[in-house]
Structure 1
Amino acid sequence: MDLDAAATAPAPAAAGAGDGGGSVGGSSQGGGNNNAPVFKEALTWQAYGRTPVLSMVVTSYGEIWSGSEGGVIKAWPYDAIAKSLSLSPEERHMAALLVERAYIDLRNHCTVGNVCSLPASDVKHMLADHSRAKVWTVTSMTFALWDARTRELLKVFGMDGQVESAKLETPVMPEQPMEEEVNPKAKPSKKDKSQGSLNFFQKSRNVLIGAADAVRRVATKGTFVEDNRRTGAVAQVMDGTIWSGCTNGAIIQWDGNGSRVQEFQHHTSSVQCIKALGERVWVGYASGTIQVMDADGNILAGWTGHSCPVIKMAIGGSYIYTLAHHGGIRGWPLNSPGPLDDIIRTELSNREQSYTRMEKINIMVGSWNVAQGKASAESLRSWLGSVSSDVGLVVVGLQEVEMGAGFLAISAAKETVGLEGSVNGQWWIDNIGKALDEGTSFHRVGSRQLAALLIAAWARKSLKPYVGDVDAAAVPCGLGRAIGNKGGVGLRIRVYDRKMCFVSNHFAAHLEAVSRRNADFDHIYRTMAFNKPHGSTASATSVQLHRTVNVNGNQVEEVRPDLAEADMVVFLGDFNYRLYGITYDEARDMVSQRSFDWLREKDQLRAEMKAGKVFQGMREGIIKFPPTYKFQKHQPGLGGYDSGEKKRIPAWCDRVLYRDSRSVSVAECSLECPVVASITSYVACMDVTESDHKPVRCTFSVDIARVDELIRRQEYGEIIESNEKVRSLLQEACFVPETTVSISEIKLENQENIVFQITNKCETSKAAFEILCDGQSIKKEDGTKSELLPRASFGFPLWLEVQPAVGLIKPGETVEITLHHEDFYTQEEFVDGIPQNWWCEDTRDKEAVLRINITGSSSTETKTHTINVQHCCPPSSAPPMMNLPAAAVPPSNVLASEGHSKRSSKKSQSKHRDQQQQQDYPQFGSSEVHDLCRMRCP
């Protein structure tokens, strides 16, 4: 359910589903002591076959528009919805079918001769511009502007404001050369075989380079390069402008005609949501940051609202509520920042001890370079299963799960389309799960594979309720930073509402490649991002860093790496740092004598960390086990070290390093320092022989300080109730500027325009207004009025135009509102998106009740004005009833249409149809049509 629907008054609401379903619901008075309204589903239908509903909006005239994949846009007329909602419960099975088939395919309406102005891209956002009765449909890169009344496509334009040209409706086929370059099974010609100019290793290298180049070429075509300029949110501000937020943190301001007004940027993280009230605008970012701006885009305040992306906002009462990616909801005073925040912050800080809770868990982390092999059940038990009984969380990282040029090339290609994993990778996950008694003692909470790299995590059954918000990410460091033979894969896991990141790594090999290893760590640490879905290789999950000046030269906030934001970070894997300044024989002698203290002085990693070149701010347990590399497979004991021709010097390649929340080692666990970890065990399993590396295992004892949100809310409530200053400030926040309306009764005739004024009498604050239609009534034949038919959130009747319907009024100023009567004589019926027939409009006198809501900028508290708008039809427009051809009889969904009119169209095709209709059928009154329908459909 949309968060907005939950925070607004009890009116009918529309919702879409991921399985392509749509629904309309309403509220009724619930039980219990508070008699709070309960939202109930009133009508459900299948909007799309197999594709999800990605966006939905209710237009200024009550139609429900929805967007889906491939640029498909459907509209459901108000009449069909109203008819279905009016049916009795016994007829409800017919209601869904009536609505389901009554849609209008707007994409087909814009396609002429296989040429369509709309892009075949997912319609991810929709916006109803109630100020001008228009609809915006938005894909990642384009905007389409529609007339809400006529459904006419007015304009298609890009993020740069340039109008897009119409394109042929043809499927996009993948480019053949790319497939050839990444195809590992391509066979050389006979001439190539005879020449034999390339050996196996040269061919493998060429395949990898080709795969890396393919990934880079996909990136230049928009998968990566344009990712930071995609539209992530869209909203209308009360001054009538439209704001769209980009994934690079920029915000574009548009006028009502789709022209760019300005672009500004105050943050580099992706814009996830935008919400406006009065003269203020709130923006939520993927970093968890919330910013408040004025209607001109000037930043008023900003703060960290959540520790993960802010994905939705809603306003209720004097608060704006923010929904975080992990499901948490928080409320903020609408007048923040201000004196109220300072008082509440101080009071809550004084009561911190009452809502602070301390937790302790054990975490076991294991790493193993498996050298493309598989382990026995006994080896897995020795490594992990035998010591897992007292741990709550297990994280395992593997390297070299599967290698080879063909596999790496295919993996790189799969990553470009969001695919991952392999048969070998799944084998390891399944068998490690068996060693941990998965399903009984542990539950797997997440995994990620990038070619040869794999990470997976299991939580004990008792801990699982406190584990969630698991995200994965990957960063390749192989050829061209695109191949996953080297790199890192990570999991971010929320434990007791604290973020913990675990990264399995494989850095550059060879003794002399120290600087490359340092660079691999730096690249992974800075670019690993968990906020976006992986796919299109891990480059698509990288963050933009160190951008302090935007394209307009404005200073913006710098985004910290995701790993820097975590409360605890653990790096594990084959880091490949070697022993230097020592011979093979010397190293073997020191190992046999267990002189590990002396050997540690020769450790490259220790020297680089001491120099501040790598793993800055991280620490490692004391190494008390022999070097874990390089061994001959299936040879037990220390005699198994490499004795071949190369005689690689033994080294501690396989390591586990970490940092917690402490800035100094003596800090105690608290809400300011929420995670404090200590190593209780750091060992290598020397008896495991299936690889040339030995697996390592590190166990942490972790103290976690968390907030008991229930107690904290209770404390917050007590502060609000007991503090007189707080209560006074909250009362002041509910201020609504005084306004006047120049008229209360309006009569419209003969397509005339009537103008009235709304005046803001307040000299200090702006007033926001919104005009709604509470309902309309019809004048019966005996001269009496029918019962008022409520329209709730379903906009204006089609015969009435109100512009502007929303806006801001400056202090002491007046705004003019224009009412216009539209007089059209035909209506259309659509079945399965195809127009079936048309009929005359209702020509009886009508009366609409308009409600003008006035609000301030710090509360949803409203003051209302009411205007009755009467429409009187000329007597000549309702001639006596005449015989009707069957095609002219309106369908059953007209029964609930109490005053609809034909949507105007400026196309010559519609004009010709209207002229033909007037020649074939005489004009008639809708009252007689209503009677005929009732006779046909008892």
Structure 2
Amino acid sequence: MGSNNFIADINPDSMEMETMMESRPSDNINISKKNSTAPQSINHQIFAGSWNVGGVSPPEVLDIQEWLRPNHINPPANIYVLGFQEIVPLNAANIVVRSENRKICEKWNSLIRAALNDPDSKNNITQDFRCIISKQMVGILLSVWVRSDLCQYIRQLSVSCVGCGLMGCLGNKGSVSVRFWLHETSFCFVCSHLASGGKEGDQRRRNANAAEILSRTTFPPGPFPNFTTKILDHDRVIWLGDLNYRIYLPDATTQYLVEKQKWNLLLEYDQLKVELMEGHVFEGWHEGVINFAPSYKYYKNSELYFGCDEKRKHNKRRAPAWCDRIIWFGKGLKQNQYDRGELKLSDHRPVRAIFMAEIKNVSMTNIHVNGDQTSIIEHKLQLLCFDHKKIQNNIYQRT
């Protein structure tokens, strides 16, 4: 179910090619040892957010700054990775036809753009974030936004979709994944909606969905040997979404502990925590400390959990749970924040995490091409368009 049919502010192919062609290689190439630098790294903050919006189309007046920019401060990150689930109702027509509802995607992207690029009210500083990719599969939407001055350093941007819902392949459940290189560090972001259900054994279906996503997600191999093609091949990986894991307790007990805000006790029975500890899923992955209330299940436009209002009758009771999660894999990621927003559009609350990501700097090793500096990685990309042997022989002769 891989696809390159996506929308973005900037054509990813043109972003890459423009940088590739800035300095046209010629015979006048040499490596400058005098100006080469020791390996360096830079840090960028990454905001990862996930929200199951319950098939509700967002009103034009919906203000998502509370989620993306708490207290209306400057955006706390340089890269925003926003995943949504159920942006359309998961009915038979949407699942089987798998039509991409461009209008609903544009609505969400318009709200994101307004929230990120709204001037800082204190300093009147206008930000410039651009959507580098936005991809939908049925109800899943993954939208990635980058500060405009960083766009030129992004390479090998691609997407991969995996459906593991009805019949094991339809897109009512599954994932949309995005990968790219920033400078000389590879990133992969996975937005997923795993199997639902609070019955005994449902957690095994969620585990199976996660394993399917890891095994079936593939990206184009790229121009170099051993290039990243699978999720775990990348340097920094963040997985977000409605993972749907519940709590191993009777509903009444869960409700009581939620009312008392006994998060530590509840987390001892959280399915994802238990499955992680027992090695059944996400081996080697990490999750930050949870100090916030369960994100599911609420009455819409309410602060009440489903089933807590005695005036409303229900055929089903849905105990609160931390269905919406953000986890990560790999070194070079430090989580600085993990909490939730309080938007009430759906029966889920959005969650967010802010990471500090270590990134290999593009200036780690310098090559001079006609007097212009470029990185080893950029130069390798340039070589694709020209005569390999001639240029390489010239480099060896001059060094």
| TM beyond 0.5 | yes
526, 541, 544: which one pairs with 2:215? 526
1:380 and 2:380 are equivalent in the alignment = no
Distance 1:616 1:585 in 2: 31
Distance 1:375 1:600 in 2: 32
Partner of 1:435: 115
Report how many aligned residue pairs link the two structures.
338
Partner of 2:83: 397
Matches within 5 A, 1:464-503: 464-503=151-190
1:682 aligns to what SS in structure 2? strand
133, 136, 149: which one pairs with 1:462? 149
Cα distance change, pair 482–326 in 1 and its aligned pair in 2 (3 A):
farther
| Contact 2:69–2:76 under 8 Å retained in 1 | no
Cα distance change, pair 388–521 in 1 and its aligned pair in 2 (3 A):
farther
Measured against aligned partners, the alpha-carbon deviations of 1:562-618 in whole angstroms (never above 9, x if no partner) come to 2122111110000011101x1222112212222111111101111111122211211
| Contact 2:220–2:229 under 8 Å retained in 1 | no
| Contact 2:83–2:143 under 8 Å retained in 1 | yes
| Contact 2:58–2:107 under 8 Å retained in 1 | no
Distance 2:178 2:272 in 1: 24
685, 693, 707: which one pairs with 2:348? 693
| Contact 1:360–1:701 under 8 Å retained in 2 | yes
1:614 and 2:281 are equivalent in the alignment = yes
1:692 aligns to what SS in structure 2? coil
1:633 positional shift? 0.7
Measured against aligned partners, the alpha-carbon deviations of 1:70-116 in whole angstroms (never above 9, x if no partner) come to xxxxxxxxxxxxxxxxxxxxxxxxxxxxxxxxxxxxxxxxxxxxxxx
Measured against aligned partners, the alpha-carbon deviations of 1:311-337 in whole angstroms (never above 9, x if no partner) come to xxxxxxxxxxxx9999499x9xxxxxx
Aligned residue identity for 1:658: W
1:712 positional shift? 3.3
Which structure: greater strand fraction? 1
Partner of 1:592: 259
| Contact 1:506–1:576 under 8 Å retained in 2 | yes
Partner of 2:318: 648
1:619 positional shift? 0.3
Distance 1:325 1:488 in 2: 31
Q: Which runs of 5+ in 1 are unaligned?
A: 1-214, 216-222, 225-322, 332-343, 415-419, 534-556, 663-675, 715-854, 861-938
Cα distance change, pair 463–558 in 1 and its aligned pair in 2 (3 A):
closer
Partner of 1:507: 194
1:620 aligns to what SS in structure 2? coil
Aligned residue identity for 2:188: C
Cα distance change, pair 383–707 in 1 and its aligned pair in 2 (3 A):
closer
Distance 1:463 1:560 in 2: 21
| Contact 2:128–2:148 under 8 Å retained in 1 | yes
1:406 positional shift? 0.8
1:528 positional shift? 1.1
Measured against aligned partners, the alpha-carbon deviations of 1:883-937 in whole angstroms (never above 9, x if no partner) come to xxxxxxxxxxxxxxxxxxxxxxxxxxxxxxxxxxxxxxxxxxxxxxxxxxxxxxx
1:482 positional shift? 2.8
Matches within 5 A, 1:333-372: 354-372=37-55
Cα distance change, pair 584–471 in 1 and its aligned pair in 2 (3 A):
same
Aligned residue identity for 1:521: A
Partner of 2:136: 449
| Contact 1:448–1:473 under 8 Å retained in 2 | no
TM-score (normalised: structure 1): 0.33
Cα distance change, pair 492–707 in 1 and its aligned pair in 2 (3 A):
same
Partner of 1:517: 206
| The structure with more radius of gyration | 1
Aligned residue identity for 2:345: E
Distance 1:613 1:324 in 2: 43
Distance 1:584 1:352 in 2: 65
Cα distance change, pair 629–473 in 1 and its aligned pair in 2 (3 A):
same
328, 333, 337: which one pairs with 1:681? 337
Matches within 5 A, 1:62-211: none
Partner of 2:104: 424
Matches within 5 A, 1:277-292: none
1:489 aligns to what SS in structure 2? strand
1:658 aligns to what SS in structure 2? strand
Partner of 1:235: none
Aligned residue identity for 2:110: D
1:712 and 2:395 are equivalent in the alignment = no
1:561 positional shift? 4.8
| Contact 2:296–2:305 under 8 Å retained in 1 | no
Distance 1:325 1:523 in 2: 36
Cα distance change, pair 324–465 in 1 and its aligned pair in 2 (3 A):
closer
Cα distance change, pair 571–495 in 1 and its aligned pair in 2 (3 A):
same
1:421 positional shift? 4.3
Distance 1:647 1:620 in 2: 28
1:462 aligns to what SS in structure 2? helix
| Contact 1:374–1:690 under 8 Å retained in 2 | no
| Contact 1:633–1:691 under 8 Å retained in 2 | yes
1:559 positional shift? 9.3
1:630 positional shift? 0.9
Partner of 1:80: none
2:247 aligns to what SS in structure 1? coil
Aligned residue identity for 2:337: S
Distance 2:306 2:53 in 1: 16
Measured against aligned partners, the alpha-carbon deviations of 1:103-161 in whole angstroms (never above 9, x if no partner) come to xxxxxxxxxxxxxxxxxxxxxxxxxxxxxxxxxxxxxxxxxxxxxxxxxxxxxxxxxxx
Range that drifts further, 492-501 or 358-367 = 492-501
Distance 2:39 2:103 in 1: 45
| Contact 1:326–1:469 under 8 Å retained in 2 | no
559, 578, 601: which one pairs with 2:246? 578
Higher relative CO (Cα under 8 Å, sequence separation at least 6) belongs to 2
Measured against aligned partners, the alpha-carbon deviations of 1:731-756 in whole angstroms (never above 9, x if no partner) come to xxxxxxxxxxxxxxxxxxxxxxxxxx
Measured against aligned partners, the alpha-carbon deviations of 1:259-303 in whole angstroms (never above 9, x if no partner) come to xxxxxxxxxxxxxxxxxxxxxxxxxxxxxxxxxxxxxxxxxxxxx
1:629 and 2:313 are equivalent in the alignment = no
Aligned residue identity for 2:278: A
1:560 positional shift? 7.3
| Contact 1:326–1:468 under 8 Å retained in 2 | no
1:532 positional shift? 8.1
Measured against aligned partners, the alpha-carbon deviations of 1:829-860 in whole angstroms (never above 9, x if no partner) come to xxxxxxxxxxxxxxxxxxxxxxxxxx9xx979
